[in-house]
Amino acid sequence: MLRKIAQAALVAAVCTLTVSVAGAQTSIDVVALDGHKAAVSLHGLERRSVTTADRAGIKTIHEGVLLRDVLAKAKVPLGDELRGKALARAIVATAVDGYQVAYAIAEVDAAFNDHLVLIVDRRNGQPLLPDSGPLQIVVPQDKRPARWIRQVTTLEVKQLP
């Protein structure tokens, strides 16, 4: 009996820790072209949701903010400022484990397309689990979720040669 109570207490503690860890990150670091790093708060940005389905047809609702809104808040040039050499810029997202994914700047800009690239913190109404979050980038229009980088911590603007 005592063992069952101890197990239940351990499960409750782990669940509490999981929720607090998953909900802990409320900002993301954005590194500008000049190397300046700023922690951009996700609070106050318009929240969006998108529903995706895997190959088995299982639907998932992802909730978060648009990547372009985070970039705009960090004063990354978008819209009319994207022309010439500025179109040869990429956003490199880096995860806790060093995994990196690149997105073309025009790919996330509303002036160029209607694609949604989200930085999500909730899935199906719940905070992301620690193996995915607290933040994950979701690109719903990608045929494969290979660029859905989990545990993302940093976005860096890079100029391509």
69-106 pLDDT tens trace: 999 999 999 999 999 999 999 999 999 999 999 999 99
Contacts of 32 (CB under 8 A, 6+ apart): 38, 74, 75, 76, 157
Q: Is the pLDDT of residue 109 over 50?
A: yes
Q: Is the pLDDT of residue 45 over 50?
A: yes
**Residue 158 and residue 71: Cα distance in Å, rounded?**
13
Q: What pLDDT is recorded for position 31?
A: 98
Query: What domains are defined for the chain?
Result: 2-159 (3.90.420.10)
Cα-trace Rg, the chain: 18
Could you tell me the two tokens for 22? 């998953």
Could you tell me the two tokens for 144? 């494969």
At 10, which amino acid appears? L
